[in-house]
Amino acid sequence: MRILWFVLSPLMALAVGLFFLGLSRRFMARIQWRVGPPLYQPLIDILRQFTQKSVSHGPLFDLGVVLSLASSFIVVLFMPLGGTAPLSSSGGLLAVLYLMLLGPLGIALSGGEAANPNVSIGISRKLILAVGYEVPFLMIVLALMTYYGTISIGEIVAAQRESASAIASFPLVFSGIAYLLILPAMLGVRPFEVVGAAQEISSGPAAEYGGPYLALATIQHGLTMFIGISLFVNLLWGGASNPVVFFLKMLVVFAFGFWVNAAFPRLRVEQAVRYLWRWPTLIAFVGLILVATIGR
Amino acid sequence: MSLGLLLIVAFGGSLLTYLLGKVSARTRDAFAVLISLALVVMVASLYGKAFRVPFYGGFLGMPLVLRIDGLSWLFAIAASVLGCLSVVFSLGYMKGKERTSFYYSMLLLVIAAMLGVVLSGDLLSLFIFWEIMSWSTFLLISYNGGPALAAGMKYFVMSFVGSLAMLAGVLTLHGSFGTLEFTGVAAGMSSASPGYVLAILVLFGVAFGTKNAIWPFHAWLPPAHSEAPSPFSAVLSGILIKMGVYGFLLLMFVIVGLRTFLSLGVGRIEFHTVLSIIGAITILLPTFIAIFQNDAKRLLAWSTVAQAGYIILGISFGTSLSVAGGMFHFLNHAVFKALLFMVVGAVEYRTNGVRDLDSLGGLIKRMPVTFIVAVIGVCGLIGVPLTNGFVSKWLIYKTLILERSPFLAFAALFGTWGTILYSYKFLHNIFLGQLPQRYEDMERAPFTMLLPMTILSVVVVLFGVLPGIPLAVIDTIGVSFGFESLHVTPWGIASDTGALNTVNMLVAALVGLVVVWCVFRSGARSVSVGQADSYAAGAAVPRDKYQYSVRFYAPLRRMMAPYLKDFVDSFYMRLAGWVRGLGDGLRRIYTGYVGDYVMYILVFLAVLIFVQIAWSPW
């Protein structure tokens, strides 16, 4: 069964990630009174991009984007998606925290070799934004790990199945709220679209990408969405007993994380960090203090 | 293998190197490499041994003793290997510089003194070797003169305060127990009062903390590391400051003992918790100062302070996992930080001494191998899975979480995110981005530089994939301290509190990379273009006009700069200014006129007479 999940998890992540990309475009269009592209438009784009010629700025330019996507797939292997996680005994949530940053880091290394000013600005923004949301995010994750006394995602899911979901239990509700507040920043959607700001810095890190590069970067973006949302479902909403329920829960969280997208204009990176370090951090901090003092 | 012979080779080698330098530079270089290699072989042959030998009969009635055990072997092997690699690196780096014989001789002397420190079996020998180490370090830091001399002075003054504290500790212990041998002192300490033990810990803690540059004794480190010659910075940051860690481990777990150490405290405040919090502060503050540094070596120096914080946090938290993590992190930091300093050294060598992050860039095209090793070193520093830093940090995080110290864990984890910021800046600003025209014809780094860097980068990955190799040694040390065993396997640990398996991850990573690479390759081929051929939204990017790396994290800096002043350093500098003012004031008394001096004597006598008449105390 576990061997099967090694293949199933990445495929599910790929499909759901692309579906979310399509859904978000559709969602946006409807809010703006447009029809919007079909849901499978991202898939068409990716297939087309694979046949298009592009430019390369060197070996690292190629390797970085591959590394970025590969590491995102590895993170997926750590997630129980309504079943058992394929890589459950390899460092747990702590390893996931690290592997999650290899995605942006791979893009950063790849973009770095391109010697393009927009790319450099985009990367600098991405890293600053990451520091912004990592403060509340780490507090949330630490509150959960301390509360359940484990670093394994699987055990956190199992513990929630025995009692209530984390988001519905007393001290952890703060962590849940804080997570929802930082979710748009983690997914990189507006108002936190500072990294790939198309009109400002020509899509930032992706400025030099075309053809297969852009395809991989797009898939990576879809996977980032998938990971951010599935972490929420696993850690705070009790996971699921089968992939279908898991997917439905993800859909709800996605809708919640996305509605702000249409309603707000883009922030500047300092404004984003200032926001992230104010309310979400405060709420996450309260949650962490309560967990540390009251405990289970 | 006798310990005495080892030290004779080490110290004698240092002296002979200097003398040989008078005859021929080539012979001297070969001899220095040979001596440092011999030291590695000799230390390696001592693996697994534990014994003591008196080497000098009666210094004030006390025998001076050398000893070796697992702990000292670990530090000795790290010191000798890093020393050897640094000597090899120096062959290229120091070519054509002045006073090279002096440099090599001092470098070997530092290595010899470090071996002396870790092989000492009593506190007096420890103190003597410690002083030799401090002095020779001072001479090497100030090797370049100018600002290096000021940096050296700062190091020396702070180091001297530490030495004084240590001397006071040694004298106190001798007064109480009449012996300075570790075993004797440890026996005495077990029956000493908690207050006494605490006082001893604080006295030695100042000495070791200054050497290890933990907050608030860190102020000497950034200038010293950035001004020293790069191969020596590698030794300085990699192993020399870790002598402080050795001292802490020795003091906490060998002399004071695990149980006493964990129970020490004033009221409800536990000493080891306070030390852990200091460790956490040492992680956070320097990490965020490092982000805004523009001098590559200064950035690495601040990073060293921060990483020392992880080590202190690990060993002072006092669980079997955390102490193992702390010791492992010491070893890992020695490897990747030495590597990174060598990378800067190689860049400096080829660019004639440029290490300003705002004016480098694009060197990946000219120094590809140096870039690859730099990436590996940076991954180790961040703690990316499958590099050595991941395992040691993982051990520390894990125990902090399971022992319910989420705030310390937060400091450690958030410090890692800061590390990503400055590490990426380091890589990007040196190797990525535009290649300035003036570096277009630059050559690759010479072989004598690439060899040590490659060896170190192999170790970074090896210890990351098979952490069991060093952890087995560290586990035996932990067991000798009184901790329970971690059940080390070649690819991680298999303890009840949660397993770590790096092989799974390696396989997943390889499969993932291969699959994605194949998918990527199946797409349309790309055309290779030069760096000038980039998309700038319709505007041409003129060559060498802009440097994109300047003020890389400007928005964050605008936010954080007011909070990131190094208050401790400004305090020390004000103190130094105040002392200098006092000195100037005192100097005014010494006017040089005999008449004034006669007057001082007369006034003094008059005061004495007045006192005698008024109160008649004599």
**In sequence order, what DSSP letters do the residues of A199-247 get, joined into one string?**
HHHTTGGGTT--HHHHHHHHHHHHHHHHHHHHHHHHHHS---SSHHHHH
Q: Is there a contact between A92 and A152 (Cβ–Cβ < 8 Å)?
A: yes
**CA–CA separation, A156 and A145 (whole Å):** 8
Cβ neighbours of residue B486 under 8 Å, at least 6 residues apart?
B320, B321, B324, B471, B475, B478, B493, B495
Number of domains, chain B:
2
Whether B443 and chain A come into contact, CB under 8 Å, resolves to no
Cβ pair A78, A85 in contact under 8 A: yes
Q: What is the pLDDT of residue A180?
A: 84
Closest residue in chain A to residue B396, using alpha carbons only: A94
The domain containing residue A163 runs over which residues? 2-293
By the 10 Å C-beta count (0-12 exposed, 13-18 middle, 19+ buried), A104 is classed as: buried
Residues in chain A with CB shorter than 8 Å from the CB of B487 are none
Residue range(s) defining the domain that contains residue B605: 586-618
Distances (CA, A) of B198 to B133, B175, B203, B258, B515: 26, 16, 9, 14, 58
Give the one of B525, B535, B556 whose C-beta lies nearest to A128's C-beta. Answer: B556
**CB atoms B531 and A57 under 8 Å:** yes
Q: How far apart are CA B12 and CA B103, in angstroms?
A: 15
Same domain, B301 and B448: yes
Contact A128 B553 (CB under 8 A): yes
Contact B486, B324 (CB under 8 A): yes
Of B409, B505, B534, which is closest to A114 when you measure between CB atoms? B534
Task: Name chain B contacts of A268, Cβ cutoff 8 Å.
Answer: 555
Q: How far is CA B306 from CA B278, B281, B299, B343, B563, in A?
A: 11, 9, 11, 20, 17
* Residue B254 DSSP class: I
DSSP 8-state assignment for residue B52: E
B535 touches chain A (CB under 8 A): yes
Question: Does some domain include residue B599?
Answer: yes
What span, in angstroms and rounded, lies between the C-alpha atoms of B417 and B405? 19
First-to-final CA distance of chain A = 33
Distances from the Cα of B33 to the Cα of B85, B87, B89, B108, B118, angstroms: 9, 6, 10, 10, 22
CB B429 within 8 A of CB B359: no
Q: What is the pLDDT of residue B458?
A: 93
Residues 27-56 of A with CB under 8 A from B: 49-56
DSSP state at residue A129: H
Q: Which of B430, B457, B484 is the last residue of a domain?
A: B457
The verdict on a CB contact (< 8 Å) between A202 and B394 is: no
Question: Does B398 reside within a domain?
Answer: yes
Q: Say whether residue A291 is in contact with chain B using an 8 A CB cutoff.
A: yes
In a domain, B152, yes or no: no
Nearest chain B Cα distance for residue A227, angstroms: 16
Comparing alpha-carbon positions, the chain B residue that sits nearest to A268 is B555
Q: How far apart are CA A76 and CA A74, in angstroms?
A: 5
| Cα→Cα distances A208→A201, A205, A279, B226, Å | 12, 7, 36, 36
Q: How, if at all, do strands A54-56 and B526-528 pair?
A: parallel
pLDDT for B108 equals 92
B62 SS3 class? strand
Q: Domain end: B457, B491, B509, which one?
A: B457
Chain A environment of B365 (Cβ under 8 Å): 58
The reply to whether residue B546 touches residue A143, judged by beta carbons under 8 angstroms, is no
| Residues A81/A230, Cβ–Cβ less than 8 Å | yes
Q: Kindly report the number of other CB atoms within 10 A of residue B596's CB atom.
A: 12
Is residue B308 in a domain?
yes
- 8 A C-beta contact, residue B296 and residue B344: yes
The first and second tokens of residue A288, run together, are 């962490």
Whether residue B590 sits in one domain with residue B446: no
Per-residue pLDDT, B546: 66
- Asked if B531 reaches chain A (Cβ–Cβ under 8 Å), the answer is yes
In a domain, B572, yes or no: no
Longest CA–CA span in chain A (Å) reads 59
Mark which of B417, B440, B457 sits at the end of a domain: B457
User: Residue B405: what are its φ and ψ, rounded to 5°?
Assistant: -120, 65
Which chain B residues are closer than 8 Å to A142 by Cβ? 401, 406, 409-410, 413
* Residue A274 touches partner B, C-beta closer than 8 Å: yes
Answer yes or no: are the C-beta atoms of B477 and B322 closer than 8 Å.
no
* Low-confidence residues in chain A, pLDDT < 70: 1, 89-90, 197-198, 260-262, 295-296
Domain count along chain A: 1
Are B385 and A125 in contact (CB < 8 Å)?
Answer: no
Is B130 within the bounds of a domain? no
Is B229:B348 a contact under the CB 8 Å cutoff? no
| Rg for chain A, CA atoms, rounded | 19
Cβ <8 Å between A97 and B413: yes
- Residues in B closer than 8 angstroms to A73, CB to CB, are 512, 515-516
Which residues of chain B register pLDDT less than 50?
Answer: none
Task: Please report residues of B whose CB lies closer than 8 A to that of A296.
Answer: none
B453, B596: one domain: no
